[in-house]
Amino acid sequence: MSTVLINTQGGSRFQEGTDLVSTGTQVGTDVNKILKKFSVQLTDTDNKPILKPNRKVIDVVNDFSWYAGPTSSQAALNKVPCIFLTEREQLLSSLISGALYYLNASANVIKAFKESDYIQSTLKKINAADATKKALEGAGSLLDGFQARTSGTDSDRALLSQNNLKSLEGIYFTRPTGFQYRLPIYGSPTITTGEWDETGGENKISQFIESGMKTVNTISDAVNIAQPGVYIEKPMYFQEPKGRSETVTFPLANTIRRGTVSPIQQNYELLWLLAFQNKPYKTSFGRTPPPKIYSVSVPGQFSMPYAYISEMSVEFQGTIRKSKVYVPTGNGSGSINSKLIETPVPDAYQVSITFSSLIKDYGNAMLGDNFSTSLEGNTVIFGN
């Protein structure tokens, strides 16, 4: 026997050769050309491990021992509320993708300015200096092509399209790792909303309006100083929505066997995998690739295109005994294999995982395909 969820029979390997950014993107190709031009080489001391799954979907609802009593049919288990996870890894750091994201927005604004008859006629009317016109044209030339290069990967564009959030294309550059999960859930979701208050944000217009309000208030207080209950109603301004955070809790029993696979091996490996993929992995003195992130969907409740595990706890329940399990292992090059170890294992685990969104909570996703995710056979289906 070996690992049952992670492919340690030649599928999982340590990465050979490193790039600052993946050449799988146009931006990565451009950046690496520049590095080669200046003879800049980036090498890792510790190669990054690339794990591959043994299953298309790690389906805890159907295949794991998380409930008591006799084995239920698949039709019955499919009625259990569940959460779908698609694991992703970043191809570009948030610093670089964020910079390109804003450059892309700038390119769109400048393009709109250049194509606006009103802006062009205004420049003529005020007799704008040639320097101003040249600056606008120069900025446009500099940013030409960014729209095609900063909209993320094909996978990112599909993900954001499924959530009706095409306006955020390019905010992250990611790709799926191949690991997909379906977990049972207990409890109800939270509902996050933005706030309204009397401040309209930090900009010139809001400062001007606020200054005007203070002037009106001062005059009103002076004129009506003798009157009771003097108050002027002020408009409220909508503030940005909050980021969503949801916690999933479920048990995993080691003393109930549902199929041909040892529940001790299967449960331990699932927890090992989630813990490992959510730790940074040091590759050199100055480089530490970040943990994996997830696309999270609970049908009919919420969808988070990009989220991370902000907290994960595993509580031991019942009697604890030493048991033998297989875990991935490797020396930093070539294939990742498996080895047998002995570790404490309880009668059951109580697992709690908190997912925190990497973007704000928008209503767009409630009309998107990810709001109605389902499992057909061993394939996760987004929408209809």
Q: For every residue of 300-339, which 3-state class applies, written as one string?
A: CCEEEEEEEEEEEEEEEEEEEEEEEEEEEECCCCCECEEE
The Cα–Cα gap between 200 and 196 comes to 9
Q: What is the pLDDT of residue 144?
A: 46
Q: What is the pLDDT of residue 140?
A: 47
Least Cα distance to 22 among 153, 203, 161 occurs for 153
AA letter at 238: F
| Strand ranges across the sheet with 82-90 | 58-59, 174-184, 82-90, 293-298, 302-329, 337-360, 243-253
Give pTM, 2 decimals.
0.75
Angstrom CA distances, 223 to 75, 215, 226, 227, stand at 74, 12, 8, 9
The Cα–Cα gap between 263 and 219 comes to 75
The Cα–Cα gap between 265 and 21 comes to 36
CA atoms within 13 A on the CB side of 348: 16
Least Cα distance to 44 among 333, 238, 247, 252 occurs for 333
Convert the pLDDT of each residue in 240-263 to its tens digit: 667 789 999 999 999 998 878 999
Q: What is the pLDDT of residue 228?
A: 58
Q: What is the pLDDT of residue 147?
A: 45
Q: What is the pLDDT of residue 152?
A: 62
Beta bridge partners of 335: 13
Residue 337 burial (10 A CB sphere; 0-12, 13-18, 19+): middle
Q: What is the pLDDT of residue 312?
A: 95
Instruction: Specify the pairing of strand 293-298 against strand 302-329.
Output: antiparallel
Q: Which two tokens stand for residue 34?
A: 């520049």
Residues of the chain with pLDDT under 70: 1, 17-43, 92-152, 187-235, 237-241, 383-384
Convert the pLDDT of each residue in 196-235 to its tens digit: 666 655 554 555 555 555 665 565 555 555 555 555 566 6
Q: Which residues contact 261 (CB under 8 A, 6 or more apart)?
A: 4, 63
The Cα–Cα gap between 97 and 148 comes to 14
DSSP for 19-46?
-SS-TTSHHHHHHHHHHHHTT-----SS
The Cα–Cα gap between 151 and 154 comes to 9
**Pair 171, 98: CB distance under 8 Å:** yes
- Strand, helix or coil at 135? helix
Beta bridge partners of 251: 350
Q: Where are the domains of the chain?
A: 45-91+153-189+244-381, 92-152
- Strand, helix or coil at 173? coil
Q: What is the DSSP letter of 48?
A: P
Q: What is the pLDDT of residue 289?
A: 81
Convert the pLDDT of each residue in 271-320 to its tens digit: 999 999 999 888 877 778 889 999 999 888 889 999 999 999 999 999 99
